[in-house]
Amino acid sequence: MLKRYLLAPGPTPVPSEVLLSMAAPIIHHRSPDFLPVLESAKKGLQWLYQTKNDVLILSSTGTGGMVGAVNNFFNQGDRVIVVNGGKFGERWTKICQAYGLEVEEISVEWGYPVKPEVVAEKLKKEKDIKGVFVQASETSTGVYHDIKTLASIVKNYKDTLFIVDAISALVAHDLRTDEWGIDIMVGGSQKGVMLPPGIAFVSVSEKAWAKAETSKLPNFYFNFKKERDNLAKNQTNFTSPVTLIIGLNESLKMLQTEGLEKVFKRHETLANAMRKAVLAIGLELFPKESPSNAVTAIVAPAGIDGQAVYKNLREKYGITTAGGQDRIKGKVFRIAHLGYSDRFDVITAVAGIEMVLKGMGYPVKLGAGVAVAQELLMV
Ligand SMILES: Cc1ncc(COP(=O)(O)O)c(C=O)c1O
């Protein structure tokens, strides 16, 4: 038997409480049975997002939320800034271009966060920028962009929206939607909120809703104004993902019991232990600054193929992680500590890395990283 451990940056493990809640018989999405379920999810998401604004619930993966964040608020030819520091930054550019927006890209070296002053300069220099798009946690590189500072910069421009892809950062990082002034923030179910894939969440500020009134881009499935009107009635525009929303209420309940502050602290503690353990093994972290609390990207040592580390972890030890993407494929492997994650997930991952590397001929002192993680994670 090979016991499976899911330590990928999405999908992430789903707690048994959540799985069991989703085993309930299907209820009809337009029936009175469902209205309180959606109302509870709506309120819970506002709590998680730290917002009084609407948080829309869409039947799609996170990328659907990203598409809606573009085609509900802009017009063809609108000039926007995209921070591109990895695969998901690149995705913002591709989506914006698919809808005819003119993208001024800020290209950031992979492994580094964007310098907020570069965004400030660009906004000053380029006239008439309608939106600034960024990731909170750039999952491909394991870097966290400084959302608080970026929000404070964009806030000075009354015609510019600040749009954050928080698909992997939600739950792992403290993101204060209203306090900081994030206009649109996208989340996804299969990450920090501990659910199966299939729903996206999008918060929308008053400033963004005002912009939506002037947007003429075509949309049908992701029509946010219709979603907003339905949400007010505790409904969704089309058939609701009833089962996932029932599961969402259960996972939100677990997060609420823990408390937001403790949830963020847990992620910070796990991420810190993972990073220190990895360094103790003698490995290098891929992010040179501002590492994400959701996922750790680790540089494969010289002569070792990062994809082989990922493959061996899964095939020999049952630990599913993630390899590198695009230009860093083979050069890194990535381990998540996101959502339903605790100290023994980190210890398991570190032990697995040590065993795999030793098996591949890399000089590892077994237990070197594990001991560091244990020290940091003891209560
Ligand atoms: C930061 C980020 N953005 C976007 C996505 C895409 O989300 P999905 O695969 O749910 O469409 C992911 C998924 O890994 C992600 O981590």
Q: Using the mean position of ligand 1's atoms as its centre, give its distance from the Cα of residue 154 in Å.
A: 24
For 314-367, the pLDDT digits (tens) are: 999 999 999 999 999 999 999 999 999 999 999 999 999 999 999 999 999 999
For 178-215, the pLDDT digits (tens) are: 999 999 999 999 999 999 999 999 999 999 999 999 99
Reference 13, options 198, 192, 256; nearest CA is 192
Environment class of 51 (CB within 10 Å of its CB; exposed 0-12, middle 13-18, buried 19+) = buried
Tokens 């339903």, residue?
340
Mutate to test the pocket of ligand 1, among 59, 63, 135 (most ligand atoms within 8 A of CB): 63
219 CB near ligand 1 (under 6 Å): no
**Residue 3: partners with Cβ closer than 8 Å, 6 or more residues away:** 318
Q: Using the mean position of ligand 1's atoms as its centre, give its distance from the Cα of residue 62 in Å.
A: 6
- Predicted pLDDT at 127: 87
This prediction's pTM: 0.98
Nearest atom in ligand 1 to 63's CA: 11
Are 2 and 318 in contact by the 8 Å Cβ rule? The answer is: yes
62 CB near ligand 1 (under 6 Å): yes
139 CB near ligand 1 (under 6 Å): yes
Mutate to test the pocket of ligand 1, among 82, 87, 139 (most ligand atoms within 8 A of CB): 139
Indicate the SS3 state at residue 131.
strand
Separation between Cα atoms, residue 175 and residue 163, nearest integer Å:
13
Residue numbers in the chain where pLDDT is lower than 70: none
- Predicted pLDDT at 326: 95
End-to-end CA distance of the chain: 32
Reference 74, options 107, 97, 47; nearest CA is 97
